Amino acid sequence: MECFGPECAARLLGWLRARAEEGVLTVPSGAGAVQQGLLWKAAPYQEDAPAITSAAEMAGAVEHLQYAVFRRYQNQLTRAERGRLDNSIENALFKIDRYLTRVDAAERAIHEAEVARLREEVRDHKERVERLRLQARRAELKLAQLTNLSPETFEEFVGELFEAMGFEVSQVGGSGDEGIDLHIRRGELIAIVQCKYHKRGVVGSPELQKFLGSVHHAHAHKGYFVTTSTFSLAAEKFAAENPIELVDGPRIVELVTQALGPGARKEPEPTWF
Protein backbone atom coordinates (compact mmCIF):
# COMPACT_ATOMS: atom_id res chain seq x y z
CA MET A 1 0.00 0.00 0.00
CA GLU A 2 1.35 3.42 -0.95
CA CYS A 3 1.98 5.92 1.80
CA PHE A 4 2.28 9.70 1.59
CA GLY A 5 2.82 12.68 3.88
CA PRO A 6 3.25 12.73 7.69
CA GLU A 7 1.65 9.30 8.13
CA CYS A 8 4.35 7.70 5.95
CA ALA A 9 7.15 9.53 7.82
CA ALA A 10 5.74 8.35 11.16
CA ARG A 11 5.62 4.74 9.95
CA LEU A 12 9.22 4.95 8.74
CA LEU A 13 10.46 6.32 12.07
CA GLY A 14 8.58 3.58 13.90
CA TRP A 15 10.18 0.93 11.71
CA LEU A 16 13.68 2.36 12.32
CA ARG A 17 13.14 2.38 16.09
CA ALA A 18 11.91 -1.21 16.00
CA ARG A 19 14.92 -2.37 13.99
CA ALA A 20 17.27 -0.58 16.38
CA GLU A 21 15.64 -2.29 19.37
CA GLU A 22 16.01 -5.67 17.66
CA GLY A 23 19.69 -4.98 17.08
CA VAL A 24 19.38 -4.89 13.30
CA LEU A 25 20.58 -1.29 13.15
CA THR A 26 23.74 -0.73 15.19
CA VAL A 27 26.21 2.13 15.58
CA PRO A 28 29.87 1.16 16.13
CA SER A 29 31.26 2.33 19.44
CA GLY A 30 34.31 1.87 21.59
CA ALA A 31 38.02 2.33 20.99
CA GLY A 32 38.05 0.30 17.79
CA ALA A 33 35.09 2.02 16.19
CA VAL A 34 35.64 3.73 12.85
CA GLN A 35 34.60 7.36 12.91
CA GLN A 36 33.94 9.62 9.95
CA GLY A 37 36.56 12.36 9.57
CA LEU A 38 35.83 16.04 9.16
CA LEU A 39 36.68 17.89 5.96
CA TRP A 40 37.06 21.23 7.76
CA LYS A 41 39.00 21.49 11.01
CA ALA A 42 37.88 25.07 11.68
CA ALA A 43 34.60 26.07 13.28
CA PRO A 44 32.18 27.88 10.93
CA TYR A 45 32.65 31.66 11.02
CA GLN A 46 29.63 33.46 12.42
CA GLU A 47 29.16 36.85 10.75
CA ASP A 48 26.70 38.04 13.39
CA ALA A 49 28.74 36.94 16.41
CA PRO A 50 30.24 39.93 18.29
CA ALA A 51 33.57 38.22 18.89
CA ILE A 52 35.76 35.20 18.16
CA THR A 53 35.95 33.01 21.26
CA SER A 54 38.13 30.00 20.38
CA ALA A 55 41.07 28.85 18.27
CA ALA A 56 38.70 26.87 16.03
CA GLU A 57 36.55 29.95 15.44
CA MET A 58 39.71 31.94 14.70
CA ALA A 59 40.72 29.39 12.05
CA GLY A 60 37.22 29.65 10.58
CA ALA A 61 37.47 33.46 10.51
CA VAL A 62 40.77 33.30 8.61
CA GLU A 63 39.26 30.87 6.08
CA HIS A 64 36.27 33.18 5.67
CA LEU A 65 38.55 36.17 5.18
CA GLN A 66 40.64 34.36 2.55
CA TYR A 67 37.55 33.49 0.53
CA ALA A 68 35.94 36.93 0.97
CA VAL A 69 39.06 38.71 -0.31
CA PHE A 70 39.30 36.35 -3.28
CA ARG A 71 35.63 36.74 -4.19
CA ARG A 72 35.67 40.52 -3.73
CA TYR A 73 38.58 41.21 -6.04
CA GLN A 74 38.65 38.26 -8.48
CA ASN A 75 34.99 38.21 -9.58
CA GLN A 76 32.57 40.49 -11.39
CA LEU A 77 30.05 41.58 -8.78
CA THR A 78 27.10 43.91 -8.46
CA ARG A 79 27.46 47.08 -6.41
CA ALA A 80 25.40 45.52 -3.60
CA GLU A 81 27.60 42.41 -3.55
CA ARG A 82 30.73 44.55 -3.39
CA GLY A 83 29.31 46.49 -0.46
CA ARG A 84 28.40 43.35 1.47
CA LEU A 85 31.84 41.83 0.96
CA ASP A 86 33.61 45.06 1.95
CA ASN A 87 31.65 45.07 5.22
CA SER A 88 32.32 41.36 5.80
CA ILE A 89 36.06 41.83 5.28
CA GLU A 90 36.25 44.84 7.60
CA ASN A 91 34.22 43.08 10.32
CA ALA A 92 36.33 39.91 10.10
CA LEU A 93 39.58 41.90 10.37
CA PHE A 94 38.22 43.81 13.38
CA LYS A 95 37.21 40.64 15.24
CA ILE A 96 40.46 38.88 14.32
CA ASP A 97 42.52 41.80 15.67
CA ARG A 98 40.56 41.79 18.94
CA TYR A 99 41.00 38.02 19.31
CA LEU A 100 44.76 38.13 18.70
CA THR A 101 45.23 40.67 21.49
CA ARG A 102 43.73 38.20 24.00
CA VAL A 103 45.73 35.05 23.17
CA ASP A 104 49.26 34.00 24.03
CA ALA A 105 52.22 34.61 21.75
CA ALA A 106 52.30 31.04 20.42
CA GLU A 107 48.73 31.12 19.15
CA ARG A 108 49.15 34.68 17.87
CA ALA A 109 52.16 33.63 15.79
CA ILE A 110 50.09 30.96 14.03
CA HIS A 111 47.84 33.54 12.38
CA GLU A 112 49.70 36.87 12.34
CA ALA A 113 51.60 36.34 9.07
CA GLU A 114 48.53 35.22 7.11
CA VAL A 115 46.37 38.03 8.49
CA ALA A 116 49.07 40.58 7.63
CA ARG A 117 49.28 39.15 4.09
CA LEU A 118 45.52 39.38 3.63
CA ARG A 119 45.45 42.94 4.97
CA GLU A 120 48.20 43.92 2.51
CA GLU A 121 46.31 42.24 -0.33
CA VAL A 122 43.16 44.21 0.50
CA ARG A 123 45.15 47.46 0.61
CA ASP A 124 46.81 46.75 -2.76
CA HIS A 125 43.46 45.92 -4.37
CA LYS A 126 41.86 49.09 -3.00
CA GLU A 127 44.67 51.22 -4.43
CA ARG A 128 44.33 49.49 -7.81
CA VAL A 129 40.55 49.97 -7.77
CA GLU A 130 40.94 53.69 -7.09
CA ARG A 131 43.60 54.03 -9.80
CA LEU A 132 41.41 52.29 -12.36
CA ARG A 133 38.40 54.37 -11.33
CA LEU A 134 40.31 57.61 -11.90
CA GLN A 135 41.56 56.36 -15.28
CA ALA A 136 38.02 55.43 -16.28
CA ARG A 137 36.74 58.87 -15.28
CA ARG A 138 39.44 60.56 -17.37
CA ALA A 139 38.54 58.34 -20.32
CA GLU A 140 34.87 59.26 -19.97
CA LEU A 141 35.71 62.98 -19.88
CA LYS A 142 37.84 62.73 -23.01
CA LEU A 143 35.18 60.66 -24.73
CA ALA A 144 32.79 63.57 -24.34
CA GLN A 145 35.40 65.75 -26.04
CA LEU A 146 36.36 63.17 -28.66
CA THR A 147 35.50 65.26 -31.70
CA ASN A 148 37.78 68.07 -30.48
CA LEU A 149 40.84 66.02 -29.53
CA SER A 150 44.19 66.46 -31.23
CA PRO A 151 45.90 63.32 -32.60
CA GLU A 152 48.31 63.41 -29.65
CA THR A 153 45.53 63.73 -27.08
CA PHE A 154 43.59 60.96 -28.82
CA GLU A 155 46.60 58.67 -28.41
CA GLU A 156 46.73 59.50 -24.69
CA PHE A 157 42.99 58.82 -24.44
CA VAL A 158 43.39 55.38 -26.05
CA GLY A 159 46.24 54.56 -23.68
CA GLU A 160 44.14 55.49 -20.64
CA LEU A 161 41.24 53.44 -22.01
CA PHE A 162 43.41 50.31 -22.28
CA GLU A 163 44.75 50.95 -18.77
CA ALA A 164 41.18 51.18 -17.49
CA MET A 165 40.57 47.74 -19.04
CA GLY A 166 43.47 46.25 -17.08
CA PHE A 167 46.36 46.51 -19.58
CA GLU A 168 49.87 47.69 -18.81
CA VAL A 169 50.53 50.45 -21.34
CA SER A 170 53.69 52.09 -22.62
CA GLN A 171 53.63 54.80 -25.26
CA VAL A 172 55.85 54.79 -28.33
CA GLY A 173 54.70 57.29 -30.97
CA GLY A 174 56.96 59.82 -32.64
CA SER A 175 58.98 59.43 -35.82
CA GLY A 176 60.20 55.97 -36.68
CA ASP A 177 57.51 54.28 -34.62
CA GLU A 178 56.80 51.82 -37.47
CA GLY A 179 53.05 52.23 -37.06
CA ILE A 180 53.15 51.50 -33.32
CA ASP A 181 51.74 54.06 -30.92
CA LEU A 182 51.31 51.88 -27.83
CA HIS A 183 52.69 48.64 -26.45
CA ILE A 184 50.19 46.92 -24.18
CA ARG A 185 50.25 43.78 -22.03
CA ARG A 186 47.69 41.91 -19.93
CA GLY A 187 48.79 38.61 -18.46
CA GLU A 188 50.39 36.59 -21.26
CA LEU A 189 48.89 38.74 -24.03
CA ILE A 190 51.32 41.13 -25.71
CA ALA A 191 49.86 43.52 -28.27
CA ILE A 192 50.52 46.77 -30.10
CA VAL A 193 48.13 49.62 -30.85
CA GLN A 194 47.97 52.09 -33.70
CA CYS A 195 45.82 55.20 -33.21
CA LYS A 196 44.43 57.04 -36.24
CA TYR A 197 42.54 60.22 -35.52
CA HIS A 198 40.34 60.92 -38.57
CA LYS A 199 37.44 63.33 -38.54
CA ARG A 200 36.47 62.12 -41.98
CA GLY A 201 37.35 59.24 -44.27
CA VAL A 202 37.52 55.48 -44.08
CA VAL A 203 40.45 53.26 -43.08
CA GLY A 204 41.18 50.77 -45.88
CA SER A 205 42.97 47.44 -46.09
CA PRO A 206 46.33 48.89 -47.28
CA GLU A 207 46.80 50.59 -43.90
CA LEU A 208 45.99 47.33 -42.13
CA GLN A 209 48.44 45.41 -44.27
CA LYS A 210 51.21 47.77 -43.15
CA PHE A 211 50.04 47.44 -39.56
CA LEU A 212 50.15 43.64 -39.76
CA GLY A 213 53.84 43.93 -40.65
CA SER A 214 54.34 45.95 -37.45
CA VAL A 215 52.52 43.28 -35.43
CA HIS A 216 54.87 40.58 -36.73
CA HIS A 217 57.95 42.79 -36.34
CA ALA A 218 57.07 43.50 -32.70
CA HIS A 219 56.54 39.76 -32.03
CA ALA A 220 53.10 40.64 -30.65
CA HIS A 221 50.16 38.26 -30.30
CA LYS A 222 47.79 40.73 -31.92
CA GLY A 223 47.30 44.34 -32.90
CA TYR A 224 44.56 46.88 -32.15
CA PHE A 225 43.86 49.47 -34.85
CA VAL A 226 41.91 52.31 -33.23
CA THR A 227 40.31 55.12 -35.20
CA THR A 228 37.61 57.72 -34.71
CA SER A 229 36.25 57.02 -38.21
CA THR A 230 35.21 53.70 -39.79
CA PHE A 231 36.74 50.80 -41.73
CA SER A 232 36.05 49.67 -45.28
CA LEU A 233 34.57 46.23 -45.95
CA ALA A 234 37.90 45.12 -47.39
CA ALA A 235 39.63 46.24 -44.18
CA GLU A 236 37.13 44.34 -42.03
CA LYS A 237 37.65 41.19 -44.12
CA PHE A 238 41.45 41.54 -43.85
CA ALA A 239 41.27 41.97 -40.07
CA ALA A 240 39.01 38.91 -39.72
CA GLU A 241 41.70 36.79 -41.39
CA ASN A 242 44.60 38.17 -39.34
CA PRO A 243 45.40 38.89 -35.65
CA ILE A 244 44.05 42.44 -35.81
CA GLU A 245 41.15 43.85 -33.82
CA LEU A 246 39.39 46.89 -35.25
CA VAL A 247 38.15 49.61 -32.94
CA ASP A 248 36.13 52.36 -34.61
CA GLY A 249 34.18 55.28 -33.14
CA PRO A 250 31.11 53.29 -31.96
CA ARG A 251 33.35 50.54 -30.58
CA ILE A 252 35.31 53.13 -28.58
CA VAL A 253 32.05 54.18 -26.93
CA GLU A 254 31.29 50.52 -26.12
CA LEU A 255 34.74 50.00 -24.58
CA VAL A 256 34.43 53.10 -22.41
CA THR A 257 31.00 51.95 -21.24
CA GLN A 258 32.43 48.49 -20.54
CA ALA A 259 35.34 49.98 -18.59
CA LEU A 260 33.04 52.19 -16.53
CA GLY A 261 30.65 49.33 -15.81
CA PRO A 262 26.94 49.13 -14.89
CA GLY A 263 25.44 52.38 -13.63
CA ALA A 264 28.35 54.36 -15.08
CA ARG A 265 26.36 57.55 -15.32
CA LYS A 266 25.81 57.55 -11.57
CA GLU A 267 29.12 56.13 -10.39
CA PRO A 268 31.76 55.35 -13.07
CA GLU A 269 33.41 52.11 -12.15
CA PRO A 270 35.00 49.29 -14.19
CA THR A 271 32.98 46.06 -14.16
CA TRP A 272 35.75 43.96 -12.63
CA PHE A 273 35.89 45.93 -9.36
Cα–Cα distance measured from residue 190 to residue 185, given in angstroms and rounded to the nearest whole number: 5
For the chain, residues with pLDDT lower than 70 are 1-9, 16-42, 135-136, 139-147, 173-178, 199, 259-273
Q: What is the 3-state secondary structure (H, E, C) of 140-186?
A: HHHHHCHHHCCHHHHHHHHHHHHHHCCCEEEECCCCCCCCCCEEEEE
- Quick: pLDDT tens for 29-56: 555 555 544 444 568 888 899 999 888 8
Enter the pTM of the model: 0.47
Is residue 242 within 8 A of residue 271, CB to CB? The reply is no
- Quick: pLDDT tens for 173-196: 655 556 799 999 998 999 999 998
pLDDT recorded at residue 37: 47
Cα–Cα distance measured from residue 210 to residue 179, given in angstroms and rounded to the nearest whole number: 8
Structural domains in the chain? Answer: 55-136 (1.20.58), 138-260 (3.40.1350.10)
pLDDT recorded at residue 33: 52
pLDDT recorded at residue 185: 93
pLDDT recorded at residue 43: 82
Count of Cβ atoms closer than 10 Å to residue 249 Cβ: 14
pLDDT recorded at residue 16: 66
- Quick: pLDDT tens for 119-143: 999 999 888 888 877 766 776 666 6
Cα–Cα distance measured from residue 82 to residue 75, given in angstroms and rounded to the nearest whole number: 10
Q: In whole angstroms, how large is the CA radius of gyration of the chain?
A: 30
Is residue 222 within 8 A of residue 243, CB to CB? The reply is yes
Give the CA-trace dihedral at 129, 122, 80, 42, to 10 degrees: 160
Pairs from 79-86 (Cβ < 8 Å, separation ≥ 24): 79/262, 79/263, 79/267, 79/269, 82/273
